[in-house]
Amino acid sequence: MSVKVSMKVNGKAVSGEVEERTLLVTFIREQLRLTGTHVGCDTAQCGACTVSMNGAAVKSCSMLAMQAEGADVMTIEGVAAADGTLHPMQAAFKEHHGLQCGFCTPGMVMNAIDFAKKHPSASEQDVRDALEGNLCRCTGYHNIVKAIMAGSKAMAGAK
Amino acid sequence: MSASLIGARVQRKEDYRFLTGAGQYTDDVTLPHQSYAAFVRSPHAHATIKSIKIDKAKKAPGVLAVYTGEDVAGAKLGGLPCGWLITDVNGQPMKEPPHPVLAHGKVRYVGDHVAVVVAETQEQARDAAEMVEVSYDVLPAVVDASQATKKGAPVLHDIAPDNTCYVWALGDKAAVDAAFAKAAHVTKLEFINNRLIPNAIEPRAANGHYSRADDSYTLYVANQNPHVERLLMTAFVMGLPEHKVRVVAPDVGGGFGSKIYLYAEDVVVTWASRQIGRPVKWTADRSESFVSDAHGRDHHTIAEMAMDKDGKFIGMRVHTTANIGAYLSTFASCVPTILYATLLAGQYTTPLIFCQVTAVFTNTAPVDAYRGAGRPEATYVVERLVETAAREMKLDPAEIRRRNFIRQFPYQTPVALQYDTGNYEATLDAAMKMADVAGFAKRKEEAAKRGKLRGLGYAAYIEACGIAPSAVAGSLGARAGLFEAGEIRVHPTGSVTVFTGSHSHGQGHETTFAQVVADRLGMAVENVDIVHGDTSKILFGMGTYGSRSIAVGGTAIVKALDKIIDKGKKIAAHLMEASEGDVEYDRGVFKVAGTDKQKAFGEIAFAAYVPHNYPHDKLEPGLNENAFYDPSNFTFPAGSYVCEVEIDPDTGQTRIVNFTAVDDFGKIINPMIVEGQVHGGLTQGIGQALTEACHYDSATGQLITGSFTDYCIPRADDVPSYKVDTRETPCTHNPLGVKGCGEAGAIGAPAAVMNAITDALWSMGIKDVPMPATAQTVWKAIQSASKKAA
């Protein structure tokens, strides 16, 4: 059975017909063609699919599209300013070489922004603990941790 | 003149698209009329296929086609080839059993491809794949290489009745045995180099598209070497004209070796796209990646080092059994031989080395190169032996290394390689200082007061990168050349597009290579674009693996640049009415020696494309050059790692409290990117040492560690922040003086970690701990040692 879902994605009202079993990530990638949100596993471990829903980071592979009915969703495509200027967290990832192949990066950034909002003065250990649900195979996390520390600072300063 | 870009920490040009979700990975490519494939995989490790019923699946909603092994055999698709022929100790070629793209008659590992379903959507394809009914006669399976060679073990392939692919050896056994006979001390270790599953975060994916309009194929694929993929697929499997096939490896989300190979899925989607007249896309889910990506390592080794009374190494003897899985993957055969035994000299003057390798088929996924490929295994052998020998002889582990370091270069090892340059003392000194080895005793004492065990371990590794030259590789069995190609296209306004046969899947070539070119041409990196990963754009390429990109691919670019500058000098000489011999070139400026006459690079480029005033009698217009580069030798990056661990004896939990890496990669183009490569390599090496173990059930051959919940790739809280630095001895045989840095961390880290752990446990009588040293493993080792002591 197909059902209709409607939500706001990156500030725009969107709707579509999905199967009941359709995951939010599938709706985002296949129907909205927002392919910046990635799928890296099938057990909710890797976090590459992380998006923001109603202001909180969620794994879009672990929920149905239907569960996002009426929600305000932001994907990585909606993070930078309209003129293309990077968000302070994105800029920090670039400055600190916090990405290599880029595949885990959107999920990392989405989680990092949510984390930084909630923990503006986190320690290195706090950041490492917060990345429990985001896997990276390239960077060894060293520069991701540095980037999130710096990005958090920049976000706090920008307020 | 602007500051040199060589050695500059230039931020990456590729980052913007990755940070904004604009990257284009294979699964992001959806073509008009796209269809989707799902594979039916064997649930058994070893079985004969009695029958396959596809009727139900064919009738399922959205299904376009279902194909089995019989269909592909009927279509005369060949099997997957192996790219390296190993000749065994008796001069016979290795056993090369057929490797069908869809199983025919028999399945040989859990995950083996049995059938494919193509449907309108991915969900429909997966649903229908569940409806394919395969009836199997289950056979006994063997997953352990040491068991597979025993009499009575299940036989995988008729042509290898003892499951042995080859027995291969390197070195003078009699001379080595004689050295052992007169040794003052012999250190012996037996260990497993644990099997690993690469797990790039982007799963493998392939999207094949046949165009009836011009009878051509396009394959988008998550791959590290699109030209090699095309060559293997067209010439060896599908029998297609090479020029009718375009392979695109767009943004690729990590490879680590696992995306070098030609896989069955790549062939099947390409072939199926012609059968149904629509593009066919397949994307692995993570569970499929676990069972079907080529795995890494899996050696069982007995290693011995013979020393004189002063701890000088006089001989080394190594016997390894390498598990190569159910079939020969693309480069499986050269990993435990050519890329392993040749590295056993390490950084030392050991004069006599013998290594024998038995490669064995088992009912497991194929095993091939994974970050380091043979060299981590070799380094583990050498550095575990060296450290253990030091402890047994009551020598300082750094001192025993110093007594044996190679100091004269070039140095011919007894295992075929000739090192061109290095300074092993320099990296060891620097690492010891950065790691504050001098203060370790105090830290150990302090930890003991808290009830914790501290250990410090070294690894002094060497690697051989950029396999070369092609003629030598060919004589050793390589069925491909190992050069690289590059092309420089200068545009009329002076900006530049560079086409490289290297492939970036995280390494940052778009920045590093742009730095090399922009520096030579005296322009901003923004004016140089790097294009890679598309056989229709790049003249040829051997791709990226074995840390070869800057040393081989970078050099090809430099050679093309030399041609550009040579031609530029001729144009400049004409414009400035000077003789060509008087024109000097320095980073963007052509000058007439001894005068104030000069022309900027952009002016020369413009003149080449708007040739109004131009030496037409001597030169063609345009400024576009390409070059192929076949290196004269490997490069030899080397370094010293120091790992310090703290173990909680009550739980066995090991924490890395300090990890220092000092590497010699020769000249460095972008230190920021190099450090990133080291961090990532170290983390994969630490993963091997502490958390990662691929485990198959010995009775059923089921993969036990088939998800991220069972197979632990390091999380951010499993690893420390690293202290990294470099020392520099430029490579002597390439113009950039570069050596490569991609694999070093994964090569050196496992031995450093395990040397630290065994240092912490040595006083309890524990000589060795198996990898991965999980809390349970270490706790067990401590318990059994305490029982023995009591």
Domain extent at residue B132? 17-139+202-253+259-292
| Closest CB to B254 among A39, A106, A137 | A137
Given an 8 Å threshold on Cβ–Cβ distance, is B201 in contact with A103? yes
CA distance B773 to B761: 12
Q: What is the pLDDT of residues B59-114, one digit of tens each?
A: 999 999 999 999 999 999 999 999 999 999 999 999 999 999 999 999 999 999 99
Q: Distance between CA B115 and CA B103 in Å, rounded?
A: 8
Cβ count near B786 (within 10 Å): 12
Distance from CA of B495 to the nearest CA of A (A): 24
The Cα–Cα gap between A57 and B223 comes to 31
Interface contacts (A, B; CB < 8 Å): 185
Is the peptide bond preceding residue B198 cis, with omega within 30 degrees of 0?
Answer: no
Q: Which residues of B touch A128 (CB under 8 A)?
A: 716-717
Tokens representing B3 are 């500051």
Q: Does A93 touch chain B (CB under 8 A)?
A: yes
pLDDT in tens, B276-285: 999 999 999 9
Query: Pairing mode, if any, of strands A50-53 and A56-59?
Result: antiparallel
Q: Are B636 and B419 in contact (CB under 8 A)?
A: yes
Strands lying side by side in the sheet with B353-361: B164-170, B353-361, B313-325, B299-307, B185-193
**Min CA distance, B684 vs chain A (Å)?**
8
Residues of chain A positioned with their CB less than 8 A from the CB of B291:
none
Q: Are residues B209 and B318 both part of a single domain?
A: no
pLDDT value of residue B361 = 98
- Of B292, B317, B343, the one marking the end of a domain is B292
Cβ density class B675-706: b for 16+ within 10 Å, e for less: bbbbbbbbbbbbbbbbbbbbebeeebbbbebb
pLDDT at B111: 98
B123–A contact, CB cutoff 8 A: yes
Tokens 């958090």 identify what position?
A152
Distance from CA of B325 to the nearest CA of A (A): 24
Mean pLDDT (chain B, rounded): 97
Distance from CA of B749 to the nearest CA of A (A): 12
CATH number of the domain encompassing residue B525: 3.30.365.10
A17/B contact by beta carbon, under 8 A: no
* B103: its two tokens: 């199983």
Q: Chain A: residue nearest B289 by CA?
A: A41
Together in a domain, B380 and B427: yes
Q: Considering the domain boundaries, does residue B147 fall inside one?
A: no
Grade residue B2 by pLDDT with cuts at 50, 70 and 90.
low
Kindly report the nearest CA distance between residue B712 and chain A, in angstroms: 10
User: What gap in Å lies between CA B471 and CA B478, rounded to an integer?
Assistant: 9
Q: Out of B581, B605, B629, pick the residue that ends a domain.
A: B629
Tokens of B349: 């003057």
First to last CA, chain A: 46
CA atoms within 13 A on the CB side of B615: 17
CB-based burial of residue B393 (10 Å sphere; 0-12 exposed, 13-18 middle, 19+ buried)? Answer: middle
- Segment B780-785 shows an average pLDDT of 96
pLDDT tens by residue, A56-115: 999 999 999 999 999 999 999 999 999 999 999 999 999 999 999 999 999 999 999 999
Kindly tell me if the per-residue pLDDT of B264 is higher than 70. Answer: yes
Whether the Cβ atoms of residue B211 and residue B238 lie closer than 8 Å to each other: no
Nearest to B686 by CA among B663, B709, B717, B707: B717
Structure-block tokens of residue B779: 């706790």
C-beta of residue A9 within 8 angstroms of C-beta of residue A73? yes
Domains of chain A: residue spans and CATH: 2-78 (3.10.20.30), 88-158 (1.10.150.120)
Cβ separation of A76 and B21 shorter than 8 Å?
yes
Angstrom distances, CA of residue B43 to CA of B105, B130, B464, B710: 15, 12, 39, 18
Tokens for B486?
Answer: 């590059």
Tokens 């113009």: give the residue.
B735
Tell me which residues of chain B, numbers 29 to 68, contact chain A at a CB-CB cutoff of 8 Å: 30
Give pLDDT tens digits for B192-227: 999 999 999 999 999 999 999 999 999 999 999 999
Same domain, B620 and B665: no
User: What is the identity of the amino acid at B30?
Assistant: T
Detail the DSSP E strand segments found in B463-525. Answer: 484-490, 496-500
**What is the CA B73 to chain-centroid distance, rounded?**
32
Judged by CB atoms closer than 8 Å, whether chains meet at B203 and A39 is answered as yes
| B18 contacts A90? CB cut-off 8 A | no
Distances (CA, A) of A92 to A87, A88, A151: 9, 6, 5
pLDDT at B786 over 90: no
A38 touches chain B (CB under 8 A): yes
Which whole number is the average pLDDT over B398-421? 97
Shared-domain flag, residues B94 and B241: yes
Find the helix packing angle between B671-686 and A142-158, rounded to 10°.
120
Across the interface, do B709 and A43 touch by the CB < 8 Å criterion? yes
Residues B360, B385, single domain; the answer is yes
> Are B404 and B518 in the same domain?
no
Percentage of chain B modeled with pLDDT above 70? 100
Q: Kindly state whether residues B121 and B233 are assigned to the same domain.
A: yes
Confidence of residue B3 (pLDDT cuts 50, 70, 90): confident
In a domain, B238, yes or no: yes
- Mapping DSSP to helix (H, G, I), strand (E, B) and coil, where does residue B147 land? helix
Residue B348 lies in a domain: yes
pTM: predicted TM-score of the whole model, two decimal places: 0.97
Pairing of β B353-361 and β B411-412:
unpaired
Residue B521 domain flag: yes
List the structure tokens of A80: 């930078």
Tell me how far apart the alpha carbons of residues B676 and B36 are, in angstroms, rounded to a whole number.
36
State which residue of chain B sits closest to A28, comparing Cα positions: B28
Specify if B111 maps to a domain: yes
Q: Which amino acid is at B407?
A: R
* Interface with B, mutate which of A30, A101, A105, A135 (most B CBs under 10 A): A101
Instruction: Locate the DSSP E strands across B632-751.
Output: 638-647, 654-664, 723-726
Subunit contact B202:A101, Cβ cutoff 8 A? yes
Residues B329-351: pLDDT tens digits?
999 999 999 999 999 999 999 99
Q: What are phi and psi of B662, to 5 degrees?
A: -120, 115
Is residue B474 domain-resident? no
Q: Which of A95, A102, A129 sits opposite B253 (nearest CB)?
A: A102
A59 touches chain B (CB under 8 A): no
Which tokens belong to B348? 């030392």
Residue B96 lies in a domain: yes
Q: Which residues of B touch A137 (CB under 8 A)?
A: 199-201, 254, 256, 680, 684, 713
Does residue B378 belong to any structural domain of this protein? yes
Last residue of a domain, one of B629, B658, B676: B629
**Interface residue A3 vs chain B (CB under 8 A):** no
pLDDT computed for residue A159 by the predictor: 64
Cα distances (angstroms) measured from residue A9 to each of A33, A48, A72, A83, B17: 12, 18, 6, 18, 20
What tens digit of pLDDT does each residue of B350-402 get? 999 999 999 999 999 999 999 999 999 999 999 999 999 999 999 999 999 99
CATH number of the domain at B133, please.
3.90.1170.50
Q: Check whether residue B662 and residue B602 sit in a common domain.
A: no
The 10 Å CB-count burial string (b at 16+, else e) for A77-100 is bbbbeeeeebbbbbbbbbbbbbbb
Q: Looking at residue B11, what DSSP letter applies? A: P
Whole-number pLDDT of residue B1: 46
Question: Given the DSSP bridges, would you call strands B216-221 and B598-600 parallel, antiparallel or unpaired?
Answer: unpaired
Q: Which helix (H) or strand (E) holds B598?
A: strand B598-600
Res B498: pLDDT: 98
Contacts of B201 in chain A (CB under 8 A): 38, 40, 46, 48, 101, 103-104, 135-138
Q: Touching check for A105 and chain B: CB below 8 Å? A: yes
DSSP B188: E
Total count of domains within chain B: 3
Closest chain B residue to the Cα of A143, Cα to Cα = B676
Q: Is B385 exposed, middle or buried (0-12, 13-18, 19+ CB in 10 A)?
A: buried
Contact at CB, A33 and B30, closer than 8 angstroms: yes
Do B655 and B611 lie in one domain? The reply is no
Do B104 and B234 share a structural domain? yes
Q: In terms of domains, do B305 and B279 share one?
A: no
Is there a contact between A43 and B719 if contact means CB atoms under 8 Å apart?
no
Q: Which residue of A94, A131, A142 is in closest CB contact with B15?
A: A94
* Residue B789 confidence (pLDDT): 80
Q: How many CA atoms lie within 13 A of B536 on its CB side?
A: 12
Q: Which residues of chain A lie closer than 8 angstroms to B16, CB-CB?
A: 86, 94
Residue found by looking up tokens 């050498």 in the block: B382
Looking at the structure, do residues B517 and B392 belong to the same domain, yes or no?
no
| Segments of A10-152 assigned E as strands | 12-19, 50-53, 56-59, 72-74
Answer yes or no: are the C-beta atoms of B540 and B549 closer than 8 Å.
no
SS3 B382: helix
Q: How far apart are CA A33 and CA B784, in angstroms?
A: 57
Rounded to whole angstroms, how far apart are CA atoms A92 and A150? Answer: 6
Is residue B409 within 8 Å of B415, Cβ to Cβ? Answer: no
* CA distances from residue B690 to B144, B290, B682, B757 in whole angstroms, order as listed: 21, 19, 12, 10
